[in-house]
Amino acid sequence: MTTNETHDAALRSWLESANAPDADFPIQNLPLAAFGTQGGAPLRIGAAIGDAILDLSHPEAAALLDAPVAQACRGPALNELMALGPRAWSGLRLALSRALRAGSPHRTRLQSALISQAAVRYGLPARIGDYTDFYTSIHHATAVGRLLRPDQPLLPNYKWMPVAYHGRASSVRVSGEAVARPTGQIRPSGAGDPIVEPTRRLDYEVELGVLIGIGNPPGQSIPMSDAWSHVFGVVLLNDWSARDIQAWEYQPLGPFLSKSFATTISPWVVSAEALRPFRAACIRPDSDPQPLPYLHDAQDRSGGALDIVLEASIVTSAMRRDAAAPARLSRTNSKHAYWTVAQMVAHHTVNGCNLVPGDLLGTGTQSGPGAGEAGSLLELTAGGREPLALRNGEQRTFLEDGDEIQVRGYCEREGFARIGLGSAVGRIGR
């Protein structure tokens, strides 16, 4: 959890756009993505700095890196770099930080390796072999549970273990790709038999995605004290949800077609190291059951939460036609989560399950305690009973075709530079 020279708030880059106070990608961030140029060139790895990308496959950039790291950055995804482990990840970050700082002797040489972010296309940052979605926000779990079970919002196991389900890796897509409205079995209220039709209750979920770096052998669990060394970084995640399909299918085995049609993630992976200054104490009442030994770690209790502001905004077809700015739907913070990233990793592997580089762990919808801190329309509209009024006069209970959801995230803490996670954007179409 210790910081180093790359976190110094006084650092400035020779690329001026990285020095703006509200920049998502200052020199203290340096997230990685898989990108290609619009002409169809193969995907390769780049680092964000200001409004540009440093192409790490470019000879001038590659010359700054250790040979195995340079080789890994020529690939179309981050998996090869992930497999090299924390020492390699930290070494890459330090090399980039020193090369991009104001006064660096590498400035002239690296100019030719810079590409405008506006001129590229993004791919998924990793080949995602498996995707597990957790349910770490007690505020979300309580709000949704109250809609279904007013007398017992939380099921008995919630405060004892991080609950999760196995998601669909093949339908994870990168920000900017369209999302088709899914069709499935629905049983309308009061009806005896189900029908098959496109969902009428399409929703978003504001989450974080945790990308695993080095994995663990089958049969060998990861202790909490070692969990963060297996975490490569974090992305924004929107787990699109068809609530009417979900209501009919989720018992007894949980979500299936209501979730498997699309999950959107942001292209930029913010490293675990870059997030160190924004770790926070976990919020768990002393009166609640205390975690079982494999889920307890004193250091994690004092600094295992992530203090990341998360915002969801909407752009409707009418707003797009009128060139109106996005309308914010909610603003929350992932520090409110009941279960931490380390607890997710420890619980996932306690049975000997082997994680591999590129595995994706979703945090589940991140909602806070306040009315405007809900991470889904299901909560914001009380299950669709209380339509949400937008500032242009439109209303929404659930999403309509043409609606675009934009999820953004950033970290701020006194004494450290603000860093951002970029955005995860998806538009609904048929």
Q: How far apart are CA 5 and CA 9, in angstroms?
A: 9
Residues 210 and 141 grouped into a single domain = yes
**pLDDT single digits (tens) 313-336:** 999 999 999 999 999 999 999 999
What is the residue whose two structure tokens read 């934009």? 406
DSSP E strands, 159-250: 164-166, 172-174, 179-180, 183-186, 195-198, 202-203, 206-212, 231-239, 241-242
Residues 6 or more apart whose Cβ sits within 8 Å of residue 150? none
Residues 181 and 110 grouped into a single domain = no
Neighbour-count burial of 150, counting CB atoms closer than 10 A to its CB (0-12 exposed, 13-18 middle, 19+ buried): exposed
Domain that holds residue 180: 131-429
Q: How far apart are CA 172 and CA 128, in angstroms?
A: 8
Q: Read off the tokens for 77.
A: 């995804």
Q: Do 347 and 161 meet the contact criterion of CB atoms below 8 Å apart?
A: yes
SS3 content of the chain, % helix, strand, coil (to 5): 25, 25, 50
| pLDDT for residue 422 | 98
Cis peptide before 252 (omega within 30 of 0): yes
- Specify if 126 maps to a domain: no
Buried b (16+ CB within 10 A) or exposed e, 59-83: ebbbebbeeebbebbebbbbbbbbb
Q: Do 190 and 236 meet the contact criterion of CB atoms below 8 Å apart?
A: no
Q: What is the CATH number of the domain that holds 91?
A: 2.30.30.230
Residues 105 and 38 grouped into a single domain = yes
Among 168, 175, 166, 48, smallest CA distance to 123 is for: 175
Residues 111 and 163 grouped into a single domain = no
| pLDDT for residue 430 | 62
Domain count, the chain: 2
Q: How far apart are CA 262 and CA 159, in angstroms?
A: 29
**pLDDT single digits (tens) 49-58:** 999 999 999 9
Side chain identity at residue 145, one-letter code: G
Q: What is the CATH number of the domain that holds 402?
A: 3.90.850.10
| pLDDT for residue 38 | 77
Q: Examine the residue annotation and report whether 140 is marked as an active-site residue of this protein.
A: yes
- Specify if 55 maps to a domain: yes
Q: Read off the tokens for 59.
A: 């000879």
Specify the pTM: 0.97
Residues 91 and 35 grouped into a single domain = yes
Residues 24 and 157 grouped into a single domain = no
Positions of the chain with pLDDT under 50: none
Domain-ending residue, one of 121, 141, 159: 121
Domain-ending residue, one of 74, 103, 121: 121
**Which among 7, 58, 106, 140 is annotated as catalytic?**
140
| pLDDT for residue 191 | 83
Q: Do 224 and 211 meet the contact criterion of CB atoms below 8 Å apart?
A: no
| pLDDT for residue 54 | 98
Q: Do 291 and 260 meet the contact criterion of CB atoms below 8 Å apart?
A: no
Residues 238 and 364 grouped into a single domain = yes
388: enclosing H helix or E strand: strand 388-389
Residues 205 and 327 grouped into a single domain = yes
Residues 25 and 60 grouped into a single domain = yes
